[in-house]
Chains A and B, each alone.
Chain A
Amino acid sequence: MKLTLQTYAWLTATLLASADVWPKSDQVKTTIQGVRRLSLGVLGWFGGIANFCVRLVRAAVKPPYEARELVRQMDEVGAKSLPLVVLAGAAIGVVLSLHTRDSFTQFGAESMLPTLIILSLVKETGPIITALVVSGRVGAGIGAELGSMKVTEQIDAIEASAVNPYKFLAATRVLACMLMLPLLTIVADFCGIITGWIANALVEPITLKLFLTQGLKDATFADLLPSTLKTVIFGFIIGMVGCFQGMRAKGGTAGVGRAATSAVVLSSLFVILADVVLVRLIITFYPQ
């Protein structure tokens, strides 16, 4: 153990000494330039996605509408994500039940278990888990598909055929994400509640009816609807970031990989950040 610690300390010291992170006299300038470039890059990205958003909305509201492609994308985003969402929801239900049972038993508050499981699923865990799982599957899919269409000139070909790619490719995908995410969330909530009940019933027999009655007895409209509907915004973020990253891909196959990865990373990040804001707003507008 001592040896391992020493080796670790020595390794860290060597790495730090050799790493190019310490400002040498002429490097201070480069660092400032680096920070400047980074902040310009970040600002440029936000400007880019805002501009993208405006072009997309403008294209989307103008007829004719791409109904066929929208249905295809809804199948791609919704139906094909279903198994993953079912599994994630079910797992979360079990985990919630396992985690909380012990602590609640200690305080003699077992009767509160159904309420805790159901409300925490419906209000937060269901929506956010669904959004993260979908951003992984669909975000990467959109980023990679549009990215490869971009680098192989297929998006140019669509434009050359006098079809607006913002409308045909991007708007349909964003809208499909917005429509499908609340539905997927409801599925995840449902699966979580069922497996939560099963996990509970195995330890202490309780009927599903009693589990639901107890769990929902204090639940109101304000607990259920806003937290499910906020996933429309998560869907918007996932679709938007995926399309934006995909359609600005460049540099061959490596660029496609970068587009897919950055689509997942950025959409997950923004979903979590948006969640913080949305939860705050929901609490403000629908106080407990």
Chain B
Amino acid sequence: MIMENNNHNPAIRVQGLSKSFGKQRVLHQIDLEVARGETLTVLGRSGTGKSVMLKLLIGLQKPDSGEIEINGEKITTMQLDELNRVRKSVGFLFQSAALYDSLTVEENVAFPLRRHSEMNDGERRDRVSELLSRVAMEEAREKMPADLSGGMKKRVGLARALALDPTIMLLDEPTAGLDPITASEINELIRELQRERENSSIVVTHDMRSVEKVADRVAMLNEGNILIEGTLEDLKRSDDPIVSKFVQEAGR
């Protein structure tokens, strides 16, 4: 492993990553790097393995082959205890927000804090307030997830993902299923958080507006391979039929 210069040590490095479910090949020999403070958006049609890739990155699923490094640490060979240490430095927003539906909004955000920080009740309450007000959800703290709209769930999910001050954020379709105005608000929120916190992020999406707002760099997945990687301009200029069709259709 080459790690002589820490500055060149990317936040996320993926090499030769492959994953299949039965006979269905989901990812094939994927190479990716996300530099510190950079936001990479991963585009692609539904079912091209984008969500699977995010889950592989925090060890929720095991790859068939390939290497994954998070902050310079290989996670593919880690024991659960070590993996959990790495997971604390990664915030994950699930596509469905995946809030715990037996807990209130406040308890949801407090869940990682209760387990992994030494805070007392008062400090924890303050931290939860701070996080909820950051995503403009403070007045909903007593509500149950079932009483929230899709956009509100995403906001609470974001607050929960930020709870342990992660250095890396993985966002799985943050605007999917939202109306254009709410989607734009969520995009704005993500952009602001990136500026404030200088996290490295991977945002999986098929929403071109999301890409325009939050991406430093774009990669497009198709049939388990990376079809194109570069800036949004590179993507727009590409004459690959699949890429240009995607850009055209999504931009409408």
Contacts and interface: CB of A to CB of B under 8 A. Distances in A.
Interface of A: 145, 148-149, 152-154, 156-164
B89 to A, nearest CB: 9
B8 to A, nearest CB: 28
Contacts of A149: 100
B95 A162 contact: no
B115 A153 contact: no
> A-B pairs with the 4 shortest C-beta distances?
A162-B84, A157-B98, A153-B98, A162-B87
Interface string B104-123: 00000001100110000000
Contact of B115 (A148, A157, A163): A163
Given A161-B112, A162-B87, A163-B115, A153 B95 contact: yes
Contact of B112 (A145, A156, A162, A164): A162
Contacts of A153: 94-96, 98
A198 B102 CA distance: 43
B60 A161 contact: no
Contact of A161 (B55, B87, B96): B87
Interface size class for chain B?
Answer: 20 to 34
Contacts of B94: 153, 156-157, 160
A159 B88 CA distance: 10
B88 A162 contact: yes
A154 B95 CA distance: 11
Given A149-B100, A152-B101, A153-B96, 19 more contacts: A148-B101, A153-B94, A153-B95, A154-B99, A154-B100, A156-B55, A157-B98, A157-B100, A158-B100, A160-B87, A161-B116, A162-B84, A162-B87, A162-B88, A162-B115, A163-B84, A163-B111, A163-B115, A164-B84
A157 B60 CA distance: 9
Contacts of B90: 160
Contacts of A160: 58, 60, 87, 90, 92, 94
A276 to B, nearest CB: 37
B164 to A, nearest CB: 8
Interface string B73-102: 000000010001101101010111011111
A148 B116 CA distance: 25
A50 to B, nearest CB: 19
Contacts of A164: 80, 84
A75 to B, nearest CB: 13
A159 B112 contact: no
A148 B99 CA distance: 12
A152 B96 contact: yes
A161 B112 CA distance: 6
Nearest to A66: B115
A154 B112 contact: no
A163 B160 CA distance: 14
B101 A154 contact: yes
Nearest to B90: A160
A149 B101 CA distance: 8
A159 B115 CA distance: 12
A153 B88 CA distance: 18
Nearest to A168: B115
A68 to B, nearest CB: 9
Nearest to B61: A156
Find the residue from A152, A161, A164 having the highest chain B CB count within 10 A.
A161
- Looking at A145, A153, A156, A162, the one whose CB has the most chain B CB atoms below 10 A away is A162
Contacts of B160: 161
Contacts of A145: 102
Interface string B46-60: 000000000100101
Contacts of B58: 160
A162 B94 CA distance: 15
29 contacts: A145-B102, A149-B100, A152-B96, A152-B101, A153-B95, A153-B96, A153-B98, A154-B98, A154-B99, A154-B100, A154-B101, A156-B55, A156-B60, A156-B94, A157-B94, A157-B100, A158-B100, A159-B60, A159-B87, A160-B94, A161-B111, A161-B160, A162-B84, A162-B85, A162-B88, A162-B115, A163-B111, A163-B115, A164-B80
A20 to B, nearest CB: 27
Contacts of B84: 162-164
Nearest to A64: B115
A98 B111 CA distance: 54
A13 B99 CA distance: 55
A143 B96 CA distance: 21
Contacts of B112: 161-163
Nearest to A156: B60
Contacts of A162: 84-85, 87-88, 112, 115-116
A152 B60 contact: no
